Structure 1
């Protein structure tokens, strides 16, 4: 067992206590006031410096290496919860109705607090600066932009940024990272198909928007399969639709909306144009008109190959080759960590296994029954600390 992993394991009890405290007191995006205060207290007790930023929630701490000038690296943990009712049955279950840590951000906070404790103790072992980013509002998809706008990544300028995310499809003790395109951009659309309401018994006196909306929804499903290059991954999903209140009344309008995911910026532009054309055309074909509100969300997440390679080396060094597992490839979920990567210039996002060692299926993310596996915390700490020690060693530059 390496020294880094040994020391990380020694922090497990402390970090588990932190994780369960955060879990029991979940707060939604940009409402993480108690969570921020808790993190601040932990860092102050360690003696870690906290940057004086104008952030309502979230914070950024800084650890200066004792070996002089060197790299500047950001490590990020998201801190917000989901608008769900917890169903895990844990004795430390959510005390805030309608909020639950069902994506594991409580575990990410615990890992980064462990990293802070170990790096602060070992600051005479590395050069340069490490910025610890406790980011609000990841589920809201704009928390990373708040960090960027706060100036936290400047003076000194962060050159690389890294984060982890708990992953039920790897076992505890396993980690993995994928180079290049890894997570999709996330855009959304809201559509109003406007017709003319009337009596259900006299459709010829009305202009029913429901068939027009149905045609539009059906046609949207053909865009990816028929109009996007087969090798390019993309998703167009209609996820909500609302029309009418009575069985015998033709409504005046139909509202529906959905999400658009892709990995390629060019495809992203294509999809917006094709969705607008498809929806407007379907509405016009049946005598209605359409209004479309199309909102760009986070960009696709690109894992820098060089950062990825160095992360893999740190994984092997900290945990051993057998603990580093190949990932299945790009996923169509999205992460606003991509906004941090875009602001910094390069970074990487890696997976931390939280699944059961015996292979029993672990509860999926974004499920009310999900509960982060505390056994995984030391492995996340070990990888991040080893990455910093390697990148910020005296001979790194």
Structure 2
């Protein structure tokens, strides 16, 4: 295909940009260098508009097609830019130059693929309407998508549909995977504080044991999914941290539990939160402790829209060939703040194969530069087919 041939010509530049970004990771909203890197290239490509500072450090580029919009005014294509607080262990020549920070999720690759698509689309403009390239901060826990939406992303740039992409280790290079409906889980953070009464370990009857209450609470919380949720629904309650006490002969007065709640259905999500509070209250009454369960609401369920998923699937089949596209992939319990964009506009999120690499968020992970060819080509054809001239 001509597109693939042209992207192959751009590949050395795109890989070089990706490695530069990899060597200079930035976290959350603190993306001054990364945002400037992106904006500078969008201007050089000849984008009709380049807007910075949306959602604090987000960047948006607008590329107008050869003809005015036919039915859709424009579609948004989103890439995330932020790295993770991980110490890199790859030993690569372009490894992170900043201790404790690393592109361990491939956002450097996502940014480079979308930059490649922007460069091609600005050269050819073989579509009607507007392609809006969205470079988002703070996907890794900061809800950068919600921040950009709050700053008027969808309305200001007349976005009718929005699409996202993420690489997946273990999915073959050149492959894509997608599904309609719920594709990634919601994520809520759980913090439980238990207040008892400290005492000498030899005299437990004179105290109220917060650690004992916490142990019972952990067991009770783990039963919520198995005994409250429909077995045909997917959900997770995980307690990942338990802090109580400091020595061998003191019953601790306080304990703290930290964990996460995941679900693929909004109703299930609400039910779990309700049951967490009820279970905490029950254990408090049983043990004589005071228990507070604080649930910080995080990302919603990522739900792909049917028509836009079909559209994305057609394009993926064109780029990869049908045998390399999974049309009804299994949902995953990880969370992704692109879910906010799919609440604001119809669209679809797709996975692109990263081949045989270390897993996401692993200190030995590296984005596969060969995936650039497929991801960039997907973005280009998605615009040209969705906004057919």
> Could you tell me the TM-score, scaled by structure 2's length?
0.97
Q: Match of 1:120?
A: 122
Encode CA deviations 1:259-286: one digit per residue, 9 max, x unaligned: 0000111111111110001112112201
User: Residue 86 in 1 paired to residue 88 in 2?
Assistant: yes
Q: 2:284, 2:11 → 1: CA distance?
A: 58
C-alpha distance in structure 2 between counterparts of 1:118 and 1:103, whole Å: 25
Match of 1:22 in 2: 21
SS of 2:378's equivalent? Answer: helix
**The 10-residue stretch of structure 1 (151-160 or 166-175) with the greater mean CA deviation from structure 2:** 151-160
1:236 correspondence with 2:242: no
After the TM superposition, which residues 194-205 of structure 1 pair with which residues of structure 2 at under 5 Å, given as runs?
Answer: 194-205=195-206
Bigger shift: residues 257-266 or 170-179: 170-179
Q: Any idea what the Cα deviations from partners look like across 1:229-266, whole Å, max 9, x if unmatched?
A: 11111000001111111111111110011000001111
C-alpha contact (below 8 Å) 2:165/2:352 kept by paired residues: yes
- Conserved in 1, the CA contact under 8 Å of 2:180 and 2:328? no
Q: Is the 8 A contact 2:177 2:328 kept in 1?
A: yes
Shift of 1:141: 4.0
**TM-superposed deviation, 1:4:** 1.5
Query: Contact 2:309–2:348 at 8 Å: present in 1 too?
Result: yes
Correspondence for 1:374 among 369, 372, 377: 369
The 1-side partners of 2:69 and 2:166 are apart by: 30
Deviation at 1:328, TM superposition (A): 3.7
How far off its partner does 1:55 sit?
4.1
**Corresponding residue number in structure 1 for 2:302:** 301
Give 3-state SS (helix, strand or coil) of 2:296's partner. Answer: strand
CA distance in 2 between partners of 1:180 and 1:335 (Å): 14
Alpha-carbon shift at residue 156 of structure 1 (Å): 4.1
Q: 2:109 touches 2:367 (CA, 8 Å); kept in 1?
A: yes
User: Is residue 129 of structure 2 the alignment partner of residue 134 of structure 1?
Assistant: no
Q: Deviations over 1:290-331 (max 9, x none)?
A: 011111111100111111111111122233223323454111
Find out whether 1:393 has 2:388 as its counterpart.
Answer: yes
- The equivalent residue for 1:96 is 98
Q: How many residues align?
A: 386
Please give the secondary structure, in 2, of the residue aligned with 1:112: helix
Matched, 1:271 2:272: yes
Runs (5+) with no aligned partner, structure 1: 357-361
Of stretches 269-278 and 318-327 in structure 1, the one that deviates more from structure 2 is 318-327
Question: 1:74 maps to which residue?
Answer: 76
Q: Distance in 2 between matches of 1:328 and 1:349?
A: 12
Q: Which structure 2 residue ranges, 5 or more long, are not aligned?
A: none
The corresponding residue for 2:193 is 192
Q: 1:8-19 residue pairs with structure 2 within 5 A?
A: 8-19=7-18
Deviation by residue 1:109-153 (Cα, 9 ceiling, x = unmatched): 010000100110111x11011111100000024100111011122
Query: Is the CA contact 2:194–2:289 (under 8 Å) kept in the aligned structure 1?
Result: yes
Tell me if the contact between 2:54 and 2:148 (Cα under 8 Å) persists in the aligned partners.
no
Q: Equivalent of 1:384, from 365, 376, 379?
A: 379
Instruction: Tell me, yes or no, if the aligned pair for 2:239 and 2:257 is still in contact at 8 Å.
Output: yes
Checking the alignment, whether the CA contact within 8 Å between 1:186 and 1:297 is kept in structure 2 is: yes
Dislocated runs of 4+, deviation >6 Å: none
Task: Confirm or deny: 8 A CA contact 1:81 1:105 kept in the other structure.
Answer: yes
Confirm or deny: 8 A CA contact 1:179 1:303 kept in the other structure. yes
